[in-house]
Amino acid sequence: MKQTDSVTNNTQSLPDPDVMYAALVRRDSSFEGVFVAAIRTTGIFCRPSSSARKPKPENVEYFPDAKTALANGYRECKICRPLVALGSTPEWLQPLIEEVEQDTSIRLQAEDLRERGLDPVRVRRWFQKLHGMSFTAYLRMRRINQAFSQIQRKTPVTNAAFQSGYESLSGFGEGFKKTMGTAPAKSNGQQVIAVSRILTPLGPMLAGATEQGICLLEFTDRRMLETQLNRLQKHLNAKALPGDSRFFPLLEAQLQAYFAGKRTEFDLPLITPGTAFQQKVWAALQTIPSGETRSYREQAEIIGQPTAVRAVARANGDNRIAILIPCHRVIGADGSLTGYGGGLWRKQRLLEIENAEVTQVK
């Protein structure tokens, strides 16, 4: 097997080997997309979060991605499946997901899952891990989302309830009020933010959309994600619920093209509620060409407030639509990478995709 110095020979930069080994030992999922670990003694490569037995440091070689590890003669670990996108639907669950997507009013209990050859506990655990809620709660919120959309289109509440799979108006009213915070007949003026997960080479992202456009796109492991979502719901007088949007297929297709190096701009409508200053900063971010970077000071000068460097940095951090509003293109005055909610390693990867020249992460 070919042996290489992965840190110096890989085209993409990697963290220090000690940092990567420590992440491998503690099974740190935040390093997913940063590297894969290839084990010289076994000839396999693993995710950073792999539960497989940990090798000695001297027996590990690091690569930026699975493709590079395969090119160097390693094969995939059968335990952690590094060739499968993190967060993707497992084969055993795919038929159920397709069934749910085809019928948003579907109601399934534990016995229904068993009849489909599925373990209800296993299904619940997967939904809890990926969506932060049980399978039953996920179905209920999708039904409420559908009913709300129908009511907003002037469908009578009774019709919306029964068309969304509810068997009684009382049950529908109770579930609707619990989720939306108000009775169905009093929901005018509210709106729903449909949320869905989108898989990317740098990890899963949570996308949000209203009827008008995309209002959220964040990596799911961002620490501020819950805060950002709560602020967004308050700004828009909305509730975030699992559901579909006409914008999601286009968003996913454009992101795939971007990560493949085939797209540099996005043409989706964006919803960006915020202060006048934040709006100005976010608009300036969208003028930075792909492959280029600016400093925070340059951003402050562009918006006509050269002394507001720190305020510009805070507004960058409050950006809720990653990649499409490219706050990752703003770097330190010395060319170093600073301040990115999705993690500096992702910021560097995004700039590498765009062929921007930056100083190594320190």
Angle, nearest 10°, between helix axes 276-285 and 309-317? 80
**Could you tell me how many helices (H) and strands (E) the chain has, helices first?**
15, 10
What is the radius of gyration, based on Cα positions, of the chain? 23
Spatial distance between the Cα atoms of 106 and 113, rounded to a whole number of angstroms? 12
Helix, strand and coil in the chain, % to nearest 5: 45, 10, 45
The dihedral built from the CA positions of residue 138, 115, 107 and 167, taken in this order, carries a sign that is negative
Vertex 13 angle, CA 9 and 15, to 5°: 110
Measured between alpha carbons, how far apart are the two ends of the chain, in Å?
32
Residue with tokens 């840190």: 7
Secondary element (H or E) of residue 46: strand 44-46
Question: Would you call 238 helix, strand, or coil by DSSP?
Answer: strand
- In angstroms, the Cα distances linking 351 to 12, 51, 54, 270, 356 are 11, 31, 32, 22, 5
Lookup: tokens for 321: 């639509």
Spatial distance between the Cα atoms of 52 and 46, rounded to a whole number of angstroms? 8
DSSP state string for 91-152: TTTHHHHHHHHH-TT----HHHHHHTT--HHHHHHHHHHHHSS-HHHHHHHHHHHHHHHHHH
Q: Which of 77, 80, 215, 327 is catalytic?
A: 327
Q: Which of 46, 77, 80, 215 is catalytic?
A: 46
327 given a catalytic annotation:
yes
Residue with tokens 């992460």: 361
Question: Would you call 209 helix, strand, or coil by DSSP?
Answer: strand
46 given a catalytic annotation:
yes
CB contact burial 177-200 (16+ within 10 A = b; e otherwise): eebbeeebeebeebbbbbbbbbbb
Catalytic residues: 46, 327
